[in-house]
Structure 1
Amino acid sequence: MKNAVLSVGAEFPAFAKKAVVSIEKGKEFYEISSEEIKASGKWMVMFWWPKDFTFVCPTEIAEFNKHYQDFADRDAILIGASTDSEFVHLAWRNNHDDLRGLQFPMLADTSKSLAQELGILEAEEKIAYRATFVVDPQGIVRWTSVYDLSVGRNVKEVLRVMDALQSDELCPCNWQKGEATIKA
């Protein structure tokens, strides 16, 4: 039996996981917890990729990094994640030009428990699908998207959805921040 993907309105699962936060010797690792994020009062955007040292994944990670300040401007904590270990994340960061300067943590879900709870663990290889979760400051999932392993996502769409969610208005199709919302 397959787990269903955690969807809108569900509480994001509690977690405490090691993450790579730096390539500076002695400052590489930090444990991130859902409690710490909730206590910050910020939104959380957690995006998952299947495997380190692959081809589509670094294009997405680099694009999220390019827009790191855009997420910060929306009062959001950005976290990247996969089922690879923190040591594999660190090796990849050290060996990939586009990943050395990451401004957000790379979460290591080596037990695959969080990916399993989120319903995004691929059945055969037990790796995470390309999933994105936007979670409000109360820890409630407000948006989720899941892509096939071979298809990269659109970071600007994640930002657009965040703008719409944070507007607390009715937003029509293709709505962009600054455009008129719908008055019911």
Structure 2
Amino acid sequence: MSLINTHIKPFKATAYQNGKFIDVSNETMKGKWSVVVFYPADFTFVCPTELEDLANNYAEFQKMGVDVYGVSTDTHFAHKAWHDTSDAIKKVQYALVGDPTATLARNFEVLIEEEGLALRGTFVINPEGQIKIMEVHDNGIGRDASELLRKVKAAQYVASHPGEVCPAKWTEGAETLTPSLDLVGKI
């Protein structure tokens, strides 16, 4: 069964953000768009490149009213230590959520049980707490924040324009489609 259009399960966690430990929960995410990005572990190889890419695009997410959460099964203390020692992670201003009990990784179905690590899972959640986009990668494959931005813009567009859909490679300002019998076989 897919998690698409399901509501996120209740959770409470501690995150490191901008020099402080903060509480994060499913309630924290309600009322605005959220992106939750799972990654395997702090102090690794592909992970800092992805988190830095997100950090470099964070201002754009913020302009769109989107909160970003990086999540691994490390603790919030490990996130702070990584932030303090890595040039790439020093750029991160969004919340790095600790999930040492793997509750979130299980809730989002990305936990590799035998390793206690998460797969590279990306989830876009609407203000009502529903998962609108999910993408899960093998841990050897890095993600692209600019493509994630495009997808979030499409999800926000579809949410605010009922009856319209975004075709492949849709970008902000491009034409959308209004599904109807008249379009069948004409695209």
TM-score when normalising by structure 1? 0.90
Q: Deviations over 1:73-119 (max 9, x none)?
A: 11111111100011111111111011113210100001111111111
Residue 13 of structure 1 corresponds to 9
1:37 aligns with 2:33: no
Query: Which stretches in structure 2 are left out of the alignment for 5+ residues?
Result: 159-163, 180-187
Partner amino acid for 2:40?
P
1:139 is the counterpart of 2:135? no
2:64 corresponds to 1:74: yes
User: Quick check: 2:11–2:103 contact (8 Å CA) kept in 1?
Assistant: no
In structure 2, distance between residues paired with 1:95 and 1:89: 10
Which amino acid in structure 1 is aligned with residue 125 of structure 2?
V
Q: Do the aligned partners of 2:75 and 2:99 also contact (CA within 8 Å) in 1?
A: yes
Residue in 2 that maps onto 1:170: 165
- Cα drift, residue 123 of structure 1: 3.0
CA distance in 1 between partners of 2:107 and 2:166 (Å): 30
User: What is aligned with 1:94?
Assistant: 84
Tell me which amino acid in the other structure corresponds to 2:29: I
SS at match of 2:70: strand
Letter of the structure 2 residue corresponding to residue 61 of structure 1? L
1:171 Cα deviation (Å)? 0.8
8 Å Cα contact 2:56/2:91 also seen in 1 = no
After TM superposition, the score normalised by the length of structure 2 is 0.89
What is the rounded CA distance, in whole Å, between the counterparts of 2:106 and 2:14 in structure 1?
17
**In structure 2, C-alpha distance between the alignment counterparts of 1:22 and 1:73, rounded to whole Å:** 18
Cα-Cα RMSD? 1.2
Aligned residues between the structures: 174
1:157 offset after TM fit, Å?
Answer: 1.5
Distance 2:97 2:145 in 1: 18
Which ranges of 4 or more aligned residues in structure 1 deviate by more than 4 Å? none
Residue 157 (structure 1) aligns with: 147
Contact 2:34–2:124 (CA<8 Å) still a contact in 1? yes
Residue deviations 1:104-141 (CA, integer Å, cap 9, x gap): 01000011111111110013202000001000000000
How far residue 14 of structure 1 moved from its aligned partner, in angstroms, is 1.4
CA distance in 2, matches of 1:159, 1:7: 20
Distance 2:28 2:133 in 1: 21
Q: Distance in 2 between matches of 1:36 and 1:50?
A: 23
Whichever of the two has the greater Rg, that structure is: 2
Shift of 1:167: 1.2
